[in-house]
């Protein structure tokens, strides 16, 4: 084993130092992933997670998050949560305090959050409200991605999203899902995901980030994986689980990530947009892949003074 390590998707650098601080002092991967993602959720300049996330077609921010523990494959998640800024912590509470269930959504997840003492907050910031009103115009950037180039599916999604926005009459008034994967000094492996999901989505839409095997998966025997981008494609390809299955068959992390993207690329999808993934093994090997050049992921070890960025391999 290589020692504690944490990796993350684009913009996870807002949280990785907090995660590594916990790992470096012998803390758990679960604590590290939660702490790292909370920092990302609290970053109001990031409009795809937590406070300041872009809203649904009604102008309401809905959040998804999940955690999976590699040694037990225990899973906790919430979906379509409104009014609570740190869904990753609510997901952990589901995992630990409600073991008879793995996923809570909507009003039930919000009731559970209230019962467990989580504080409500306004998630729609002035900046995200402005983006809500302005960002549906034609653009060369993807809808759900780290400023990657738009594809035909992005343009179609914008047109249909604008129809939803007009239908629901919304109130007046850095980008993409975040993954963090951590390996601690005891050998535990944990994967976490947090997102506000596709902007301008149909209310109640839950993406791959809240679903085991799609947005994330962890099995300490073989490794962990997580996905960002076009969640509906990851759900259909069972993306994260497919990557871990290939790790179990002996593929290197980058090879397993590329294999999943190649499989997802065969699926018909008129809303096709960028899909990315990354993986971490129990001995500290890691890799990532994307469909377009220019995408990176971040890495920290015990000797890191700050997150180090590595290029993702391109399908």
Active-site amino acid positions: 177
Q: What is the DSSP letter of 118?
A: P
Q: Phi and psi dihedrals of 287, rounded to 5? A: -170, 170
Please name the residue ranges forming H helices in 57-173: 87-97, 106-115, 126-134, 152-168
In the chain, the N- to C-terminal Cα span, in Å, equals 29
The CA distance from 83 to 61, in Å, is: 8
Q: What's the length of the chain?
A: 315
Sheet holding 313-314, edge to edge: 216-219, 223-229, 275-280, 286-290, 313-314
The CA distance from 213 to 225, in Å, is: 9
Chain mean position to CA 279: 13
């Amino acid at each position: 084993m290589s020692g504690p390590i944490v990796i993350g998707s684009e913009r996870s650098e807002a949280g990785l130092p907090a995660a590594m601080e916990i790992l470096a002092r012998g803390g758990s991967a679960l604590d590290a992933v939660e702490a790292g993602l909370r920092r990302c959720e609290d970053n109001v300049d990031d409009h795809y997670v937590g406070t300041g996330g872009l809203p649904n077609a009604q102008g309401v921010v809905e959040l998804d998050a999940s955690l999976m523990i590699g040694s037990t494959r225990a899973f906790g998640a919430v979906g379509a949560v409104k009014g609570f800024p740190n869904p990753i912590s609510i997901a952990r509470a589901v995992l630990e305090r409600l073991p008879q269930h793995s996923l809570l959504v909507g009003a039930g997840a919000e009731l559970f959050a209230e019962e467990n003492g989580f504080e409500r907050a306004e998630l729609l910031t002035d900046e995200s409200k402005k983006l809500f009103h302005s960002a549906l115009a034609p653009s060369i950037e993807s809808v759900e991605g780290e400023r990657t180039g738009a594809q035909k599916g992005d343009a179609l999604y914008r047109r249909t999203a604008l129809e939803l926005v007009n239908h629901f009459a919304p109130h007046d008034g850095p980008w993409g899902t975040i993954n963090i994967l951590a390996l601690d000094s005891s050998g535990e492996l944990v994967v976490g995901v947090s997102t506000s999901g596709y902007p301008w989505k149909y209310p109640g839409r839950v993406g791959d980030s809240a679903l085991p095997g799609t947005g994330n998966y962890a099995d300490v025997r073989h490794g962990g994986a997580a996905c960002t981008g076009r969640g509906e494609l990851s759900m259909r390809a069972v993306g994260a689980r497919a990557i871990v299955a290939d790790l179990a068959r002996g593929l290197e992390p980058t090879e397993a990530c590329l294999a999943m993207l190649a499989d997802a690329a065969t699926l018909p999808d008129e809303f096709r947009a960028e899909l990315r993934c990354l993986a971490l093994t129990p001995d500290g090997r890691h890799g990532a892949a994307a469909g377009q050049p220019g995408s990176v992921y971040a890495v920290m070890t015990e000797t890191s003074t700050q997150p180090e960025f590595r290029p993702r391999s391109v399908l």
